[in-house]
Structure 1
Amino acid sequence: MDFTISPEIEDYRARIAAFVDSRILPVEGHRSLWDEHGNIGRAALTDLRAQARDQGLWCLQVSKENGGQGLGKVGMAVCYEAMNRSIFGPVVFNAAAPDDGNMMVLEKAATEAQKERWLAPIVAGSVSSAFAMTEPSPGGGSDPGMMRTRAEKRGDRYVLTGRKWFITGAEDAAHFIVMARTSDDPRRGLTAFLHHRDDPGWRIERRIPIMGPEEHGGHCEIVYDGMELPADRILLGEGQGLKLTQMRLGPARLTHCMRWLGLAKRCTEIARDYAGSRTGFGIRLGDRESTQIKMGDLAMGIEIGRLLVMKAAWTLDQGDFARQEVSMAKIHVANLLHKAADVAIQINGARGYSTDTVLEWIYRYARQARLVDGADEVHQMVLNRLQADNPDGFWTWPVSTA
């Protein structure tokens, strides 16, 4: 098996790493440049985004013909990990959720006219976007079959009614992809629609307060109250909403993991630096066996995560949905990130619990990782079902045709 990467990917990785170190980390280190929700302030972000664009480090995930760099999932895995050495890295390179996943699915599913109207402005960075799928109970969450938001066809238009919540970025978003039920067919009952924030018939009910730091635009509860949309706002086709969610969520879950590996590595970096300088009871903290065991365990966990992510990335690049590979990576890396932040805080002691480092930021952020894009238990059930349905093929290696 060949784990080497191309010189092109290594060039992107090295330039991103240098950019993070020289440009983004200094901004991260000045709390005056943050916004009130624990994210990078708009002024600093605008400046850094312009620099990233000038250096050809913009939108790695989008094809060159649509304004990006055209890296596949393997290249993204390498570079996204490098980006998230800083908590602000991904958004600077236009590789943060939810725009990241929305751009990828629009490039795959949108018509040329839809790409021009809905994709191009996100790629340009002139607007942000949101993906409105999750609903309050008893509506759809991890199970889209429970979706209650409806789109009723009236003549040549569709009228949307329903409620969504925890919609990331909604307060700042201009472009929305919203999932709604157009029939009760279990396989073809859902449809994806595109709408603009200026379209009438919807509102943000509230920006939901959360435990962790927030993406720009927060996590909002949305009400659709008779929004009327023409048929050209349908993405992929009526009744193709379930297929579209599969197209979007698999790669989006994996890009979360790519980024989380970078944050987990940052945790070990902060812990190792402190353990190397802190002395107590006549011995350096880094020389204590208990510290070495913790750090060695994290190093192994991160490498396992990198292998799982890379296999899933490779499988996606082959045109597969990579359901079992993505679920395994999602479970492992989400838990790894929480563990890395917890161990690093423990090693740093009170310093780790303070805001003198970004460890407490990462710790608060990390707890959501086991929930977003499918809770651990949902992915574990998926893996059990896939293994039970194909016990002989679950652990097979792909065979070369050469």
Structure 2
Amino acid sequence: MDFTLTPKAEDLKARVRAFVETEILPLENDPASYNEFENIRMDLRDKIRIKAKVAGLWAPQMPEIYGGLGLSMVEQAVFYEEANRSIFGPVCFNCAAPDDGNMRCLEMVGTEDQKRRWLRPMIDGAVNSSFAMTEPHPGGGSDPGMIQTRAERHGDTWKVYGRKWYISGAAVSKHFILMARTDPNPEEKRRHLTAFLFHADSPGWRILRRIGNMGPDEHGGVCELEFDGLEIPDEDRLMEIGDGLRLTQIRLGPARLTHCMRWLGLAKRCMEITQEYVSKREGFGLRLADRESVQLTLGEVAHDIQIGRLLTMHAAWKLDQGDRARKEVSSAKIHVADTLFKAVDTAIQLNGARGYSTDTILEWIYRYARAAKLVDGASEVHKMVLARFYGKEGSDYWQWG
């Protein structure tokens, strides 16, 4: 594991940082940049996306033959961290969730026809997408074995019935990946799911509501969906019948890690804002930066961010070697989610009322950061994953190979 960056990665790091500095960061300070859900206006996003394409900083995770940059996971870690120095960064480079994970998934498992019809518009930035898996009780959440939404086959067509909720981006998405039960046997927990593609214009489904939350809200929010006979041609089935659980593992592993890459960028941004403030702000005859208590606090956060970067890079490296890196990704997800929340909480405390106000983006990041411990598997679920690995491997849990 050599963490020396290649010249290509160093160049990308500098170019992304410069683009974010000049083209994206200034937008955060203008109230007119935001939509009603506290995210960048989509028309403004699209203007910045054109500039990102011209700058050669578009779709870093996609192969060059599709117009992407074809970066390795390690190179993506460098890119994503710099991209999310701004709260608007990833979506302007087309590497934000949920599109990021959906594009990876389709590129890996889609047929050539599916890539042409479903993936290419996503890479081009022409459509948004969603991954519809989570369900209200008694349906599936972190446990996909509980999924209730069912797809019934009628010749070359499937009809879907059921409900999903907290589906990211659904209100503006055009392309959906849907997880549904195709084996009606409730005891079947491994081959019971199949993945399908459907378009927003298809009849037989509807958005029941856009669910309010702490926000700020991503484009399309999180929505509750109802399926009442949605018809999907068999040609729009992803992988084989019963491969749905395998597909979720293919999609969610890298997606969890790219969350970590982005969150590290936000955590570092919180430190930047705080360091600038404490280096100037004085109280009782002393700069805040000269107080030992402040130094200890900032040093601890810097320490945790670096641990997160090493965990993330190690997992990225293992994925590049062809390993599934399940425990490495889970370790990174747990630690980086905690670190992001700690970084912004510390930043608000040291910035005082300024940090709690909207004079900085810290309160925006604070509300956003709370979701990090929940999305793509709650921290407790990932700790259970690690416990299972340790119970199986014992001392071999810590092997380097």
> Normalising TM by the smaller chain, what interval?
over 0.9
- For the 8 Å contact 1:134–1:141, the answer to whether it is kept is yes
Q: Which runs of 5+ in 1 are unaligned?
A: none
Give, in whole Å, the separation in 2 of the partners of 1:338 and 1:392. 31
User: 2:15 is matched with which residue?
Assistant: 15
Deviation at 1:386? 0.7
User: 1:348 is matched with which residue?
Assistant: 351
User: 1:257 is matched with which residue?
Assistant: 260
Name the aligned partner's letter for residue 81 of structure 1. Answer: E
**TM-score, normalized by length of structure 1?**
0.98
1:297-308 aligned at under 5 Å gives the runs 297-308=300-311
Give, in whole Å, the separation in 2 of the partners of 1:40 and 1:52. 15
Deviation at 1:392? 3.4
Deviation at 1:32? 1.2
Give, in whole Å, the separation in 2 of the partners of 1:342 and 1:260. 14
User: 1:314 is matched with which residue?
Assistant: 317
Q: Does 1:359 align with 2:362?
A: yes
**Which moves more between the two structures, 24-33 or 256-265?**
24-33
User: 2:128 is matched with which residue?
Assistant: 128
Deviation at 1:212? 1.8
Q: Which runs of 5+ in 2 are unaligned?
A: none
Deviation at 1:395? 0.6
Give, in whole Å, the separation in 2 of the partners of 1:104 and 1:7. 25
Give, in whole Å, the separation in 2 of the partners of 1:389 and 1:66. 41
What is the RMSD computed on CA atoms of the aligned residues? Answer: 0.7
Q: Does 1:395 align with 2:390?
A: no
User: 1:270 is matched with which residue?
Assistant: 273
Deviations, residues 67-115 of structure 1 (Å, cap 9, x unaligned): 2110011000011000000000000000000000000000001000000
Give, in whole Å, the separation in 1 of the partners of 2:247 and 2:67. 22
User: 1:338 is matched with which residue?
Assistant: 341
Name the aligned partner's letter for residue 201 of structure 1. Answer: G
User: 1:295 is matched with which residue?
Assistant: 298
Give, in whole Å, the separation in 2 of the partners of 1:31 and 1:260. 23
Q: Does 1:104 align with 2:107?
A: no
Deviation at 1:140? 0.3
Name the aligned partner's letter for residue 167 of structure 2. Answer: I
- For the 8 Å contact 1:179–1:193, the answer to whether it is kept is yes
Deviation at 1:165? 0.4
Give, in whole Å, the separation in 1 of the partners of 2:258 and 2:144. 21
Name the aligned partner's letter for residue 124 of structure 1. Answer: D
User: 1:204 is matched with which residue?
Assistant: 207
Name the aligned partner's letter for residue 24 of structure 2. Answer: I
Name the aligned partner's letter for residue 296 of structure 2. Answer: I
1:2-401 aligned at under 5 Å gives the runs 2-183=2-183, 184=185, 185-398=188-401
- For the 8 Å contact 1:344–1:352, the answer to whether it is kept is yes
Name the aligned partner's letter for residue 341 of structure 2. Answer: H
- For the 8 Å contact 1:64–1:70, the answer to whether it is kept is yes
Deviation at 1:40? 0.5
Name the aligned partner's letter for residue 246 of structure 2. Answer: K
Deviations, residues 238-269 of structure 1 (Å, cap 9, x unaligned): 11000000000000000000000000000011
Aligned length: 398
Q: Secondary structure at the match of 2:56?
A: coil
**TM-score, normalized by length of structure 2?**
0.98
Give, in whole Å, the separation in 2 of the partners of 1:186 and 1:366. 33
Deviation at 1:152? 0.8
Deviation at 1:194? 0.1
Give, in whole Å, the separation in 1 of the partners of 2:296 and 2:137. 43
Give, in whole Å, the separation in 2 of the partners of 1:43 and 1:160. 34
Deviations, residues 169-202 of structure 1 (Å, cap 9, x unaligned): 0000000000000003321110000000011100
Q: Secondary structure at the match of 1:394?
A: helix
**Which moves more between the two structures, 58-67 or 324-333?**
58-67
Give, in whole Å, the separation in 1 of the partners of 2:377 and 2:65. 32
Deviations, residues 324-355 of structure 1 (Å, cap 9, x unaligned): 00000000000000000100000000000000
Deviation at 1:5? 1.3
Q: Secondary structure at the match of 1:273?
A: helix
Give, in whole Å, the separation in 2 of the partners of 1:102 and 1:208. 22
Give, in whole Å, the separation in 1 of the partners of 2:43 and 2:28. 13
Identical-pair percentage: 60
Q: Secondary structure at the match of 1:161?
A: strand
Give, in whole Å, the separation in 1 of the partners of 2:260 and 2:300. 19
- For the 8 Å contact 1:61–1:76, the answer to whether it is kept is yes
- For the 8 Å contact 1:136–1:165, the answer to whether it is kept is yes
Give, in whole Å, the separation in 1 of the partners of 2:113 and 2:70. 21
**Which moves more between the two structures, 184-193 or 132-141?**
184-193
Give, in whole Å, the separation in 2 of the partners of 1:186 and 1:351. 51
- For the 8 Å contact 1:334–1:370, the answer to whether it is kept is yes
Give, in whole Å, the separation in 2 of the partners of 1:317 and 1:283. 49
- For the 8 Å contact 1:27–1:44, the answer to whether it is kept is no
Name the aligned partner's letter for residue 254 of structure 2. Answer: P
Give, in whole Å, the separation in 1 of the partners of 2:13 and 2:316. 16
Deviation at 1:393? 2.1
